[in-house]
Structure 1
Amino acid sequence: MKNLNEVIDFYKKKNLNIPDLFQWGTGYFDVMKIDTIAKRDEAISLLSFSRKSLYKIKLVKGKCKCHYADRTIEIDNYALIFVNPMILFLLEEMQEPVKEYFCIFNDDFFNNFGNIRDYSVFQNHENNVFKLPEEVYDEFTAILDRMKKELSSNYEYKFDAVRNLVYELIHKAMKMRGSHSKIPRVSGADKRITLLFEELLALQFPLHSTSDHIKLKKPKDFAEQLSISINHLNKAVKHIRNQTTSEILTERVLQEAKILLKITDWSVSEIAYSLGYETPSRFIYTFRKNIGVPPLVYRAEHI
């Protein structure tokens, strides 16, 4: 309740309209347009209150780079970007600040209205960045305009209308690339446990300063948080992902390490301790074993 009140107070102080559907822990949806530095600062302040489980569909205009742990995608002018909170992502502006027009939402907004995370545009960075010609950029802008208009309307079923517009945007993008509509689905308790594990893991990132530290460091920490045995967690994750819990955890931590090495000036020791390693030497050993080079060599190669 404290977080909810803080966010509502922020909206009021900034003279921003408070979304009608604003209940953290349930459904949340909003549309934002950022075309000035002041608006960017406001959005950053607002989103810092939120859980790190928000999906975003970003329409950007300007020169920028989309950084992932193992790939960087350069954008010259117009692009549509789908952001999954469970996939590490950073947008770097190249010259002037980019203009952003985006919607943000959580899974619960689509409860009983389809599983939004199943769509390929939210699965990996091979499918979620669409470079656009100007005329197509304008078409997507029109869809976001319609979302914003619906949100401010008095229509009884406006949130269903907004959900339809989100799906219209998704399908329009996927048709551009001929993507398959959905990733094959696996049902059952193992999937639920795996998704909860992955969400807990995702909520620990990104790290914003050297004072940030991940709290869930080992598989047993996640099992305790989920109130299940470590064997139950390991069995479920192995069944769904064909990887061990430790492998997924190490992979995700090293993805964050690569991002920090590429975009910050933190020392190797600072990165090691923030990522939960007991000693820098253990971090260096793990990084070299999995990535092939020591952290400082990786940094030098990617500056």
Structure 2
Amino acid sequence: MAIKVVSQIPGLDIEDLKLKGFKVHELPASVNVPVSSGRRDFYKMGLVNGDMTISYGDKILEINDTVLFFVNPNVPHSVVRRSKKTNGYACLFTEVFMTSRERTEVLKRSPLFQIGDTPVIPLNSEQAAFMTGIFKKMLAVHNGNYTYKGELIKSCIELIIHEALRIQPSHNAPQFKNAATRISHLFIDLLERQFPIERADEPLQLRTAHDFASNLSVHINYLNRSVKEVTGKPTSVHIAERITAEAKALLQHTDWSVADIAYALGFEYPTYFNNYFKRVTGTTPQSLRKK
């Protein structure tokens, strides 16, 4: 019999999560259906003990022990449990929840949430006991009436991330020669994480150098100077090339209308997109599609 996969996560109210910014819960002993593969708009970290298969991006991970499991919202994933004895805890939170600059930096730049790293960290009995204590604390705070529960949950999230890095340092953590190299890497990473565009009703959010500078909390002149120094090309050129490349892909490999593609790429009107595309490529979107 084929396994039926559904898009809902058992016991999770998505609207409530978006409203509060976080949710902590104990995993049920068994679930009738696995969680479907897909991209969502929240991060997830879990402490899991059981027999299961985790599909994460292009990786298939077989789990039969106690592990920490980290999920990046940009990576499609699914979990199939093979035993009713599975147990553990999960903490889900939105990027907006980690509001301060320092905490957002910890989250975004943590190698545990980078696509190239393995999302699973095996734990020994001592490490598992320590992590269990943190998740139990978060669960108690989540279910209680403490006025500053959000701040306490954020601190616990940071502690779990740092403890996980101490247990298993990332093999993909970038080494930067100087500050300019670092900010250029962050800019390129932020640019690339917006693609590929999969839905016409979710338009591109960062389209200008000012957008990226604001997101990275740096002055636009510093961003432009650093990117030009390290890559040899201005920030605006990187953005234009990437948007144009995505536009070509959407024109050639989807049946979206030119208007839908324009809106998906963040253009207010299709005419603006047509003029932009012709200025950059020398041809119109319709001409490219016909070719």
After TM superposition, the score normalised by the length of structure 1 is 0.53
Aligned positions, number: 211
Q: Which residue of 1 aligns with 2:23?
A: 30
Matches within 5 A, 1:207-226: 215-216=199-200, 225-226=204-205
Residue in structure 2 matching 1:121, options 112, 115, 121: 112
Q: Which residue of 2 aligns with 1:194?
A: 191
User: Alpha-carbon deviation of 1:276?
Assistant: 4.7
Change in 2 beyond 3 A, CA 1:191/1:126? closer
Change in 2 beyond 3 A, CA 1:71/1:161? same
| CA deviation string 1:218-273 (max 9, x = no partner) | xxx98x655959xx99x869848x978747997xx9xxxxxxxxxxxxxxxxxxxx
| CA deviation string 1:112-151 (max 9, x = no partner) | 1521121110002524210122332222111011111222
| CA deviation string 1:138-191 (max 9, x = no partner) | 221110111112223333322111111111111111100134897665379966
Residue in structure 2 matching 1:142, options 110, 129, 133: 133
Matched, 1:171 2:168: no
The answer to whether the 8 Å contact 1:57/1:104 transfers is yes
Change in 2 beyond 3 A, CA 1:246/1:147? same
Change in 2 beyond 3 A, CA 1:248/1:100? farther
Q: Which residue of 1 aligns with 2:66?
A: 78
Higher RCO (CA 8 Å, separation ≥ 6 residues)? 1
Matched, 1:161 2:152: yes
CA distance in 2, matches of 1:142, 1:69: 30
Root-mean-square deviation (Å): 4.8
Change in 2 beyond 3 A, CA 1:248/1:166? farther
After TM superposition, the score normalised by the length of structure 2 is 0.55
- SS for the counterpart of 1:107 is coil
Identity of aligned residues (%): 22
AA matched with 1:197 = Q
Q: Which runs of 4+ in 1 moved over 6 A?
A: 16-19, 41-45, 242-245, 247-250
User: Alpha-carbon deviation of 1:58?
Assistant: 1.3
Greater mean alpha carbon deviation, residues 123-132 or residues 141-150: 123-132
| CA deviation string 1:39-65 (max 9, x = no partner) | x479979xx9xx921100011111122
Structure with max Cα Rg: 2
User: Alpha-carbon deviation of 1:69?
Assistant: 3.7
Q: Which residue of 2 aligns with 1:102?
A: 90
Q: Which runs of 5+ in 1 are unaligned?
A: 1-13, 205-214, 254-274, 279-303
Q: Which residue of 2 aligns with 1:5?
A: none
User: Alpha-carbon deviation of 1:193?
Assistant: 7.2
Q: Which residue of 1 aligns with 2:219?
A: none
